[in-house]
Amino acid sequence: MSIRWVDESALQAGWLGHASAYIEAMERQLLVEEWLQLTREAMPSAARRKRWSVRFDHCFQRILLDNAVGGRWYDHIARPAYRNASDDLLREAIRLGKAALMGKEDLADLNRKSLEWRGQR
Protein backbone atom coordinates (compact mmCIF):
# COMPACT_ATOMS: atom_id res chain seq x y z
CA MET A 1 0.00 0.00 0.00
CA SER A 2 1.36 3.37 -0.95
CA ILE A 3 0.63 6.66 0.67
CA ARG A 4 -0.38 9.34 -1.73
CA TRP A 5 0.57 12.87 -0.78
CA VAL A 6 -1.78 15.60 -1.84
CA ASP A 7 -0.37 18.93 -2.82
CA GLU A 8 -2.13 21.42 -0.55
CA SER A 9 -1.60 24.30 -3.00
CA ALA A 10 -3.45 22.32 -5.67
CA LEU A 11 -6.38 21.84 -3.28
CA GLN A 12 -6.42 25.53 -2.46
CA ALA A 13 -6.28 26.48 -6.15
CA GLY A 14 -9.26 24.24 -6.87
CA TRP A 15 -11.23 25.63 -3.97
CA LEU A 16 -10.32 29.19 -4.84
CA GLY A 17 -11.39 28.57 -8.42
CA HIS A 18 -14.83 27.48 -7.24
CA ALA A 19 -15.04 30.37 -4.78
CA SER A 20 -14.06 32.83 -7.50
CA ALA A 21 -16.72 31.48 -9.86
CA TYR A 22 -19.29 31.70 -7.07
CA ILE A 23 -18.34 35.32 -6.30
CA GLU A 24 -18.52 36.26 -9.99
CA ALA A 25 -21.97 34.67 -10.26
CA MET A 26 -23.17 36.55 -7.18
CA GLU A 27 -21.77 39.84 -8.49
CA ARG A 28 -23.56 39.27 -11.79
CA GLN A 29 -26.81 38.48 -9.99
CA LEU A 30 -26.52 41.72 -7.99
CA LEU A 31 -25.84 43.68 -11.18
CA VAL A 32 -28.93 42.21 -12.89
CA GLU A 33 -31.05 42.89 -9.80
CA GLU A 34 -29.83 46.50 -9.76
CA TRP A 35 -30.70 46.85 -13.47
CA LEU A 36 -34.18 45.44 -13.00
CA GLN A 37 -34.88 47.53 -9.89
CA LEU A 38 -33.72 50.67 -11.69
CA THR A 39 -35.71 50.13 -14.88
CA ARG A 40 -38.79 48.40 -13.46
CA GLU A 41 -39.23 50.39 -10.26
CA ALA A 42 -37.08 53.49 -9.72
CA MET A 43 -37.35 55.08 -13.16
CA PRO A 44 -41.05 54.37 -13.76
CA SER A 45 -41.92 55.74 -10.31
CA ALA A 46 -39.89 58.90 -10.99
CA ALA A 47 -41.32 59.42 -14.49
CA ARG A 48 -44.40 61.41 -13.51
CA ARG A 49 -42.56 63.55 -10.97
CA LYS A 50 -39.83 64.35 -13.50
CA ARG A 51 -42.36 64.78 -16.31
CA TRP A 52 -40.60 62.29 -18.54
CA SER A 53 -42.43 61.37 -21.72
CA VAL A 54 -41.67 57.67 -21.18
CA ARG A 55 -43.18 55.66 -18.36
CA PHE A 56 -42.71 51.95 -19.05
CA ASP A 57 -39.82 49.72 -18.01
CA HIS A 58 -39.11 48.47 -21.54
CA CYS A 59 -38.79 52.09 -22.75
CA PHE A 60 -36.21 52.89 -20.08
CA GLN A 61 -34.35 49.68 -20.91
CA ARG A 62 -34.31 50.56 -24.63
CA ILE A 63 -33.09 54.10 -23.99
CA LEU A 64 -30.34 53.10 -21.57
CA LEU A 65 -29.09 50.09 -23.52
CA ASP A 66 -29.11 51.94 -26.86
CA ASN A 67 -27.06 54.75 -25.36
CA ALA A 68 -24.69 52.33 -23.62
CA VAL A 69 -23.86 50.65 -26.96
CA GLY A 70 -24.19 53.75 -29.16
CA GLY A 71 -26.89 52.26 -31.38
CA ARG A 72 -29.72 49.77 -31.37
CA TRP A 73 -28.92 47.45 -28.49
CA TYR A 74 -30.20 44.35 -30.27
CA ASP A 75 -27.55 44.83 -32.97
CA HIS A 76 -24.95 44.27 -30.24
CA ILE A 77 -26.57 42.05 -27.60
CA ALA A 78 -28.51 38.81 -27.89
CA ARG A 79 -31.97 38.72 -26.33
CA PRO A 80 -32.77 38.93 -23.49
CA ALA A 81 -30.39 41.82 -23.03
CA TYR A 82 -30.13 41.71 -19.24
CA ARG A 83 -28.90 38.11 -19.43
CA ASN A 84 -26.54 38.59 -22.37
CA ALA A 85 -25.08 42.07 -21.96
CA SER A 86 -21.54 42.18 -20.63
CA ASP A 87 -21.07 43.38 -17.07
CA ASP A 88 -19.37 46.53 -18.33
CA LEU A 89 -22.22 47.33 -20.70
CA LEU A 90 -24.82 46.75 -18.01
CA ARG A 91 -22.84 48.95 -15.62
CA GLU A 92 -22.78 51.74 -18.22
CA ALA A 93 -26.54 51.46 -18.77
CA ILE A 94 -27.09 51.57 -15.00
CA ARG A 95 -24.79 54.58 -14.72
CA LEU A 96 -26.84 56.41 -17.37
CA GLY A 97 -30.10 55.57 -15.61
CA LYS A 98 -28.86 56.74 -12.23
CA ALA A 99 -27.50 59.92 -13.80
CA ALA A 100 -30.90 60.58 -15.39
CA LEU A 101 -32.57 60.10 -12.00
CA MET A 102 -30.15 62.60 -10.44
CA GLY A 103 -30.61 65.10 -13.27
CA LYS A 104 -27.07 64.69 -14.55
CA GLU A 105 -28.23 63.14 -17.85
CA ASP A 106 -31.14 64.41 -19.92
CA LEU A 107 -33.47 61.46 -20.44
CA ALA A 108 -35.26 63.27 -23.27
CA ASP A 109 -31.92 63.64 -25.10
CA LEU A 110 -31.05 59.99 -24.49
CA ASN A 111 -34.48 59.00 -25.81
CA ARG A 112 -34.06 61.22 -28.87
CA LYS A 113 -30.74 59.54 -29.70
CA SER A 114 -32.29 56.10 -29.23
CA LEU A 115 -35.18 56.94 -31.55
CA GLU A 116 -32.81 58.40 -34.17
CA TRP A 117 -30.78 55.17 -34.21
CA ARG A 118 -34.05 53.38 -34.86
CA GLY A 119 -35.09 55.76 -37.65
CA GLN A 120 -38.06 57.00 -35.67
CA ARG A 121 -37.07 60.68 -35.48
Looking at residue 10, what is its pLDDT?
A: 55
- What CA–CA distance (Å, rounded) separates 11 from 16? 8
Torsion sign, CA atoms 29, 31, 35, 40? positive
Looking at residue 18, what is its pLDDT?
A: 72
Q: Is residue 99 part of a domain?
A: yes
- What CA–CA distance (Å, rounded) separates 107 from 115? 12
Domain count, the chain: 1
Q: Is residue 3 part of a domain?
A: no
Q: Is residue 1 part of a domain?
A: no
What is the per-residue pLDDT across 32-86, written as a single tens digit (0 to 9) for each?
999 999 999 999 999 999 999 999 999 999 999 999 999 999 999 999 999 999 9
10 versus 119: the higher-pLDDT residue is 119
- What CA–CA distance (Å, rounded) separates 71 from 63? 10
Q: Is residue 2 part of a domain?
A: no
Q: Is residue 40 part of a domain?
A: yes
Q: Which domain holds residue 30?
A: 8-117
Q: Is residue 84 part of a domain?
A: yes
- Which positions ≥6 away from 12 have C-beta within 8 Å? none
Q: Is residue 76 part of a domain?
A: yes
Name the DSSP class of 74.
G
